[in-house]
Chains A and B, each alone.
Chain A
Amino acid sequence: MSNIKYLLLRRITQITLLVLYFGANAYGWHMLEGTFGASKLFGFIPLADPYTTLQVLATGFVLGADVLLGALIIILFYMVVGGRAFCSWVCPINMVTDLANWLRRKLNLDKEEVNYRFLKRRARYWLMVLGLIVSAVVGVAAFEVLSPITIMQRGIVFGFGAGISVIIAIFLFDLFGVKNGWCGHLCPLGASYSLIGKVSLIRVKHDHEACTNCMECKIVCPENQVLHMINKESISVTDGECTNCGRCIDVCGDDALKFSIRSFGNNKD
């Protein structure tokens, strides 16, 4: 059990949130209404996705105060729990890409990895900026037109229609195309949460003394470049791309990784 503790907690969180959003439409619950673009918590606290908000602002439309306040609340929240905690604890696409990733390992597709040189992990940052430019040029929030995240969420709340094909496409791309292709290379929303993650408080910390260099953590990590300190230094994972998913902590047999509060002054203690 202990090696899937955080995995279970994440799935419970993700599914609970989706059930609450579903109930808001189907049964009129006032726990969590709307979608990730903009929501209302308990019927009165506004929440809004920061990148979606930026896209709407980029179109030149002066947004209502509810959305701006909502985006601020979300930014502050993820500055505490870790920027891309959204990706691994909230986003429903995470369940799709995790399944693709798990199947890749089971089917030995990782061994045949084709080196997609043109697709780098920093592509998502280019796409993030590009999304704002396209929003400004075309006059519509550009990523929201094709975001599999809200397409999947709206699918669950309001019905999928042909939108299901976008979810299948992401699954196939991650399974047979590029490893961690969507979440780890392309998703501009994840990129925006990475920026918040650069300064966020709760981080994974490595204990170099306890590590036996088994590399289980690096195999399971969807962003394993952030684990550059393994068996080298006892420091926190400070890269924004870390999703705080806790898989590395789950699989570590030596208690060499744990969640801790980041110390800004001196990383080594």
Chain B
Amino acid sequence: MANSDNNRRKFFATTLQSVGLTALGGLLWSGYTDEVKASPLVLRPPGALPEDDFLKACIKCGLCAEACVNRDSNKNKDGSNREGTLQMAKGGDHRMIGTPFFIPTEVPCYMCDDVPCVPVCPSGALDMPSLLNEKEELDINKARMGLAVVHKESCIAFWGIQCDACYRACPLMDEAISLEYHQNKRTGKHAFLLPIVHSDVCTGCGLCEQACVTEEPAIFILPVEQATGKAGDHYVKGWDKKDQLRAGNRKLDEIETKNERSEKEASDYLNTEVEY
């Protein structure tokens, strides 16, 4: 009787110990994993799901990177392979380990017509349907790997110096980057040729960033989420018929906005100053 009591006590104690140590491990493991997945400024292959879903789905097999480096169009003159665009993150890269990414200044995405990296993805982290055009063909122009952003203070074209390196490097010349002409009032006789990026066309391939002549590129690719803002649904372009349709769908008398200020009279809050 005493023996079986002892056994039971021992069983409960060791089970409790196992549960406790597992909980400890779980906390450490979750914390570590959550930290290492936090690297928002990373450029993914074409067709990649939004970063959160991508990190869930990527099985870290490397098939995309292998397809990229071994693509037929990626040969030196002697037939050997050039460096691939896609790298697999390893320890020290400060990106989620084992996931594919690219750095435009090292090797940008050359936007292959047959998009070899996407169909090989077994898990669906690279979403093939998102790259299909109306004819159900793979279309690299639909990729949104990132968005080119121009820092006009360091872009020498904005200084008035003639440079169109990014414009000419762009695979979608005059569509993703166009040149806008402005008069240079400082000299009175020259023109500014300003590179303007169009976010509805730019794929984020990074050829412009690689081509940029300044010491640190004045045009660079950021992940779409970090490079774009959002005006919100309540702004409607009254001069744009298509945009006006958005407003037309709403029933105005059903819209009611309630927030903290709704309780007050307009004169109560418009006349108070914000204190700094």
Contact = CB atoms under 8 A, between A and B. Distances in A.
A145 B26 CA distance: 14
Interface of A: 24-28, 33-35, 37-40, 46, 48, 52-53, 56, 59-64, 66-67, 70, 118, 120, 122-123, 126-127, 130-131, 133-134, 137-142, 144-146, 150-151, 154-155, 157-166
Contacts of A134: 26, 29-30, 33
A165 B32 CA distance: 17
Contact of B90 (A122, A126, A155): A155
18 contacts: A26-B81, A33-B63, A37-B60, A38-B63, A46-B122, A48-B122, A53-B59, A67-B59, A118-B17, A123-B18, A126-B25, A130-B22, A134-B26, A140-B56, A151-B90, A157-B62, A161-B92, A161-B93
Interface in B86-101: 87-88, 90-93, 96-98
Given A35-B62, A162-B90, A63 B124 contact: yes
Contacts of A70: 122
Contacts of B120: 40
Contacts of B21: 118, 123, 126
Interface string B13-33: 000011001100110011011
Contacts, number: 156
Interface residues of B, number: 42
Contacts of A38: 59, 61, 63, 122-123
Nearest to B97: A145
A155 B91 CA distance: 9
Most chain A beta carbons < 10 A, residue from B61, B65, B93, B121 = B61
A28 B57 contact: no
B222 interface: no
Interface of B: 17-18, 21-22, 25-26, 29-30, 32-34, 36-37, 52-53, 55-57, 59-63, 65-66, 69-70, 81, 87-88, 90-93, 96-98, 120-124
Contact of B123 (A33, A63, A131, A164): A63
Contacts of A154: 60, 62, 88, 90, 98
Contacts of B53: 61
Given A25-B69, A139-B55, A150-B60, A67 B123 contact: yes
A131 B57 CA distance: 16
B81 A28 contact: yes
